[in-house]
Chains A and B, each alone.
Chain A
Amino acid sequence: MAQYRRSTEKPILSVRDLVVKFKLRGKTLTAIRNISLDVYKGESLAIVGESGSGKSVFTKTFMGLLDNNGWIDNGEILFGGYDLAKFKNEKEWTKVRGKRIAMVFQDPMTSLNPLKTVGKQIQEAILLHSNISKAGAKQQAIKLLTDVGIDDAERRYKQYPHEFSGGMRQRVVIAIAIACNPEILICDEPTTALDVTIQAQILDLIKALQKKFELTVIYITHDLGVVADVANRIAVMYAGDIVELGMCEEVFFDPKHPYTWALLSSLPQLGIKGEDLYTIKGTPPNLYQTIKGDAFAPRNPQALEVDFVARPPYFEVTPTHKAKTWLLDPRAPKVEPPEYIRRLREQGVTFNG
């Protein structure tokens, strides 16, 4: 798959300077702070970051699913000739939502309606976006069930969600998501609620479907193990901003941003028996306040003075790799990545294999 990412290639989805705000208890919170990101056709992009970093909110804007108290304050989301950020009513959104951009949610146990048969719920998605007959939609739904690896689809079609296991339900959710041949599939922590053996199966399924239907997949996760398994490209989010963006190998083995260092250092796989696991000290910044400088600076023991004053721009490391840290400025002092990161680099071969 895609090893391209040349600047000449046209992105399928392009986010420009996006700002998302929420009104909460009379105060305004800035959840997304000026993100720009291009997503290319056929790639798998993983958005990683800790809880509250804005990963989900960011992708929800692509589908117009922000909660009622949130709004897009600035920026554009260009997709298929539309600017999604300008969409106002549901009628406009139905052209895109579920049809061209679809989403898989975290918890399959609760994301299906318990009172409707699985088949009806898939059929419903098909009928919403195409003009085929009910019988035709049923045939298509049964085929989808087979596509996502559910045996005996004809019988399963008539069953209710409670008759399915967690992994099987997630397959159904995926079937619903791909029902209308979307161009982009957003997977919001698709395996977090599943046990480990099922996780791998679901990821394999998504990968297989991606190939078969030429999907562009955006994963949202805080599980770096998942990322290493599926992603071509990684976007690291912190406090509502993408602080580092690069190809999978670049971010894993040559990270530049101190937050990426810290995040990777906390990987349990890198821990040494008997030693405490690495943890990031402090708490994420308060998004009710305007953040000055680098949002990660207060938690970064090696922060530079400039980190507290000015927000770093993107510095390009390679044409596909960039990071928002002053450390990449030619004037900056040389700061070595921590011990853990060097160890990761050495382990690189095994990690990849």
Chain B
Amino acid sequence: MVQIITGAEMAEAAKAARKRKPGRPPKAAAGMAAVNDMPPTDELVTMYRDMLLIRRFEEKAGQLYGMGQIGGFCHLYIGQEAVVVGLQSVSKPGDTVVTSYRDHGHMLACGMEADGVMAELTGREGGYSRGKGGSMHMFSREKNFFGGHGIVGAQVPIGCGLAFSHKYREEANVCMTYLGDGAVNQGQVYESFNMAALWDLPCLFVIENNQYGMGTAVTRAAAGRSLADRGAAYGIPGKQVDGMDVLAVRTAGAEALAHCRAGKGPFILEMKTYRYRGHSMSDPAKYRTREEVDAMRKQHDPIDQLRDVLMKQDMTEAALKTIDSDVKAIVTNATEFAQTSPEPDPSELYTDILKPLTGGATSVEV
């Protein structure tokens, strides 16, 4: 039984939140994990490690971008780690994941190798897409990660299609379809909500509300009370969750996934989260104050919060330090790999445009 934040702290945080419009941090009270849901220590450690890996990976990606080794667009996930790590911790084998372009964290959480992700960022042969997709377009069939999509909202009907394929094959799996607070205003999201509800598709819509769609605060772009309500007209249940608290995410995720798995149709989780960095690397982030970012970091950082939990469970500094060094080593190795993996061969320009007809029973050979 561990209490993460005291009542006084919560009250203070809530007060601070009211002052910090429009970039409000999540309601501290809303997402606190029920204490009886506390997972065993080894699972907490895994989540800590997974979040730390994303954090360190993204910091390194930012650094490599600054050095000109990563090109194009690069959207970092720093600050939002609890969302994907918490949900993956309660997923089942065979569940599928699809998201938009802020996707590095999702790939790592799905178990994709840091080497291959980083090498894709540097546009090398060793990347998951052999250097042909880049930051926004990576996939792993093996890890059930279906992208990595560059068009805001386009991944939502695709996620419904993956959920459709689970239902069609009568598998007890769910597609976790991630979208941002920017995407929730796209028409195709509602086309998707409608079909998902109509056909009871096992689709968990995870709205990562990081408060800003590029430079526009969610309050300036989205009408209505909460994004969790956006499925109300279709009868899709929705819930707001403190997306900075990995335990709250885990609890809510388990409940929502159980709903989808039971054949009750889709579910919406609005994860109130926050990205510390700009929308992409070239975003000066002048639409919010430094104080707002600092307050989120200091009071709600997902990694610090879980660290506190672990310390209260008699985890030693030394043990945490070991995790830290292990994670650092993975990122260092990934960087080394991404810098030394060769550029794709020029002949790769013309591969993978169309699949060859592979003969087999159904193909015509005369």
Chain A bound to chain B: no
